[in-house]
C-alpha cells in the first residue's frame, strides 16, 4: 500500500495562513476595520505557519 501524506501535513503554512486570514477577517468585521484585520490575520498566519514548519523540521528524524 502506498501511503501518501497530505500536503498540509508536510507544509502547514497554507493552513496557518488560511486560519489567520479567517480570524483576522472576523476581527476586522467586528472592529469595522476590515483591511487592518485581514492584514494582521495574514501576518500572524505566516508567523504561525513558519513556527509550525520549523518545529516540524526539528522533530523530523534524520534518515
Cα angle 3, 11, 13; round to 5: 150
Cβ–Cβ under 8 Å, residues 13 and 46: yes
For 29, the grid coordinates are: 468585521
- With cut-offs at 50, 70 and 90, classify the pLDDT of residue 62: low
Range of the domain at 30: 12-54
- With cut-offs at 50, 70 and 90, classify the pLDDT of residue 56: confident
Domain count for the chain: 1
Within-domain flag for 7: no
Within-domain flag for 60: no
- pTM, two decimal places: 0.76
pLDDT digits (tens, 9 = 90+) for 1-48: 456 666 656 788 899 999 999 999 999 999 999 999 999 999 999 999
Amino acid at each position: 500500500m502506498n501511503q501518501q501524506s497530505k500536503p498540509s501535513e508536510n507544509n502547514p503554512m497554507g493552513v496557518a495562513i488560511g486560519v489567520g486570514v479567517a480570524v483576522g477577517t472576523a476581527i476586522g468585521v467586528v472592529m469595522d476595520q476590515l483591511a487592518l484585520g485581514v492584514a494582521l490575520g495574514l501576518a500572524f498566519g505566516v508567523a504561525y505557519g513558519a513556527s509550525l514548519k520549523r518545529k516540524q523540521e526539528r522533530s523530523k528524524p534524520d534518515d
